[in-house]
Amino acid sequence: MSDTYLQLDKLTLAYGDTVAVKDLDLSIKKGELVALLGPSGCGKTTTMRSIAGLLNPASGRITLDGADITRVSANKRNVGLVFQSYALFPHLTVYENVAFGLRLKGVSGQDLDAKVSASIKSVGLASFASRKPGELSGGQQQRVALARSMVMEPKVLLLDEPLSNLDARLRLEMRAELQRVQKETGVTMIFVTHDQIEALALADRIVVMLNGGIEQIGTPEEIYNKPVSAFVADFVGFENVFALENGKLATSNSLVELSAPVPQAVKGLAWRPRMVILGSGPFQGTVRGTSFAGNVREYLLDTPLGPIKAEVDAGEPSHAIGSTLSFDLPLGAAAPLSRYR
Amino acid sequence: MTPRILSPLVLGLLLIFLIGPFFIIIAASLSAGDTLAFPPQGLSLRWVFKVFTIDSFRDSFAMSMLLAVGGTLAALVLGIPAAYALSRYKLPGAETIRTIVSLPIIVPGIIVGLALLRYLVVPFGFNITLALFFAHTALVLPYAVRVVSASLNNLRSDIEEAAVLLGSSRAGAFFRVVMPNIRGGILAAFILGFVTSFNQVPVSLFLSGPGVRTLPIDMLGYMETTYDPSIAALSALLAFLSIGIVFLAERFLGFSRYV
């Protein structure tokens, strides 16, 4: 990629003897909004901290805007970070929190006031400028943290779980706020999250991480529709995941023939509950559980293939627990996985 | 008696036991007579004024103040970085360090005093004022470390990282965002240390010499030779000084949050 802005090369990060991230390669373009997505312990936060300079890599290289910043200290990188806990300075007012970095840069007088005031105003907190962080709600504190980072015009803005501490309504507001900031300033943003829905909703590109490595990189559509591994498939809602052995579906106790051959490279197949056809097909299953979820009804089936989750429109006739029905896993709908583990 | 009646009764007796002598001292200090006695023989303020004319009290008061202020400041200079390191980093042997730091309040003062006299002052002719200063610094250090640690533990550590990412150095972050937020704890530690040092008797007892005495030691000496109410008057004055300090500290700092 020629227009790479931030580049991680064979980055290995460790805490003492524990390797958290191994040989990570990642290229991010200017102005992109990238999500690092994964379960806790996957190395996403560690990766973010190393970009900020709060953690020195054991090996590898970080390049930002054409310069090698691997050994540049955190206070000289001009990388912003909005902490999960916001990390506002409790003894300073909102105004002084936002002015903190600019004052250190030697900005003063009217220049300072203009920048700080504009920044506070842009996050809608103009009337709160003289309050202390303790007097603000969580959502307001986060906007102060955002303004405090953005006023420095950082090259990259990092956000640690930006939406996880907010309730549903504020989450929506904050999402819009982040999109506004990205649109208005064109800043490159990387945010860390364990919530695939947030990642899908907000990011231009998603980096799914697992066990200190990258599992898949793609647009939200690619991640959602074309997961490449069993882990990603399960993570984005393909709850029926099977390995393939010699072109056959590997279940817990047997190999099941497929209705048509699949390419050698395909190591597994995955279906969303939505894709399972109930009422007809070559397989038989017993309903073990069912639940009503508004517009759909969910079923858990005991089958020779193992447990299968299915989902049908609530308007369809329902099946009682204990009843036996036939079902199909249509090959055409399945997501082909290139990795299964 | 039910516990409901018993506990206020016990509490009341305890309070009388603790505070009672204080009122006796105040009464005795207002005596018009020539000897320390209770009940006082007549009422007058002559002994209160007399206190200020006794030279040795002035000198030993100055010495006590010097030790209390200087020793406590020295303990804070040592204690704040120690508390910071203990609360922010995973140090090998952190528990051992905490225990060692606490030793001066665990080991009886009389032993500390004797040890300093026998192994520092006697063999090396170590300056007594300096020995007193070191002793008081060591005695106050546990309070400095504990109280400052308590306020550091209440402060998020990520604000330092936030300051660094906004362009501050690590040291700068400490002075810009840590110190202002633990100011109350530092002041509380100072007051606690000051009072501890000022009231110290057993250690100072061993480290007094010609012309070098702290106020409590001087008062002991004075009582052995002169049994007049000025000693009660001085005690009352010191008690009011302590009460005043603690009252102001509570009023402006919420002292009890830290201790």
For residue A75, give the amino acid letter: N
- d(Cα A127, Cα A210) in Å, to the nearest integer? 43
Task: Please name the residue ranges forming H helices in chain A.
Answer: 44-52, 94-104, 109-122, 138-150, 168-185, 196-202, 220-225, 230-235
Q: What is the DSSP letter of B53?
A: T
Q: Judge: B159–A88 Cβ closer than 8 Å, yes or no.
A: yes
Instruction: Burial-class residue A327 by CB neighbours within 10 Å (0-12, 13-18, 19+).
Output: buried
Quick one: what percent of chain A has pLDDT higher than 90? 75
The answer regarding whether domain B54-257 maps to CATH 1.10.3720.10 reads yes
- d(Cα A258, Cα A243) in Å, to the nearest integer? 12
The residue of B155, B165, B175, B183 whose CB has the most chain A CBs within 10 angstroms, and thus the best one to mutate to test that interface, is: B165
Whether the per-residue pLDDT at A168 is higher than 90: the answer is no
Q: Judge: A89–B162 Cβ closer than 8 Å, yes or no.
A: yes
Residues of A with CB under 8 A from a CB of B: 52-54, 74-77, 79-81, 83, 85, 87-91, 100-101, 104-105, 145, 148-149, 152
Whether the per-residue pLDDT at A54 is higher than 90: the answer is yes
- d(Cα B11, Cα A307) in Å, to the nearest integer? 68
**B85-141 residue pLDDT tens:** 999 888 888 889 888 888 888 888 888 889 888 888 888 888 888 889 999 999 999
Q: How far is CA B144 from CA B38, B64, B83, B112, B259, in A?
A: 39, 19, 8, 19, 11
Q: Which of B163, B176, B181 sits opposite A90 (nearest CB)?
A: B181
Terminal Cα-to-Cα distance of chain B (whole angstroms): 35
- Domain range list for chain B: 54-257
- d(Cα B27, Cα B25) in Å, to the nearest integer? 5
Contact B230, B54 (CB under 8 A): yes
Task: Please name the residue ranges forming H helices in A53-186.
Answer: 94-104, 109-122, 138-150, 168-185
**B192-244 residue pLDDT tens:** 899 899 988 888 888 887 778 899 999 988 888 888 888 889 999 988 888 88
Say which CATH architecture domain A4-228 belongs to. 3-Layer(aba) Sandwich (3.40)
Whether the per-residue pLDDT at B259 is higher than 60: the answer is no
For residue A331, give the amino acid letter: L
> In angstroms, what separates the C-alpha of B172 from chain A's closest C-alpha?
10
- Domain range list for chain A: 4-228, 231-337
The residue of A91, A116, A141, A157 whose CB has the most chain B CBs within 10 angstroms, and thus the best one to mutate to test that interface, is: A91
Residue bearing tokens 């590109």: A205
- d(Cα B166, Cα B158) in Å, to the nearest integer? 12
- d(Cα A191, Cα A159) in Å, to the nearest integer? 4
ipTM: 0.85
SS3 B78: helix
**A88-105 residue pLDDT tens:** 999 999 999 999 999 999
SS3 A63: strand
Q: Work out whether strand A205-210 and strand A33-37 pair parallel, antiparallel, or are unpaired.
A: parallel
**A19-42 residue pLDDT tens:** 999 999 999 999 999 999 999 989
**CATH for A231-337, among 2.60.120.200, 2.40.480.10, 2.40.50.140, 3.30.70.580?**
2.40.50.140
Q: Which of A75, A91, A145 sits opposite B169 (nearest CB)?
A: A75
Mean pLDDT value across chain A: 92
For residue A36, give the amino acid letter: L
Mean pLDDT value across chain B: 88
Which chain B residue lies closest to A79 (C-alpha atoms)?
B165
Of the pLDDT bands very low, low, confident and very high (cuts 50, 70, 90), residue A1 is very low
Of the pLDDT bands very low, low, confident and very high (cuts 50, 70, 90), residue B2 is low
Which span out of A63-67, B5-9, B41-45 was modeled with the highest average pLDDT?
A: A63-67
Whether the per-residue pLDDT at A2 is higher than 60: the answer is no
Q: Judge: B156–A85 Cβ closer than 8 Å, yes or no.
A: yes
Q: Judge: B161–A89 Cβ closer than 8 Å, yes or no.
A: no
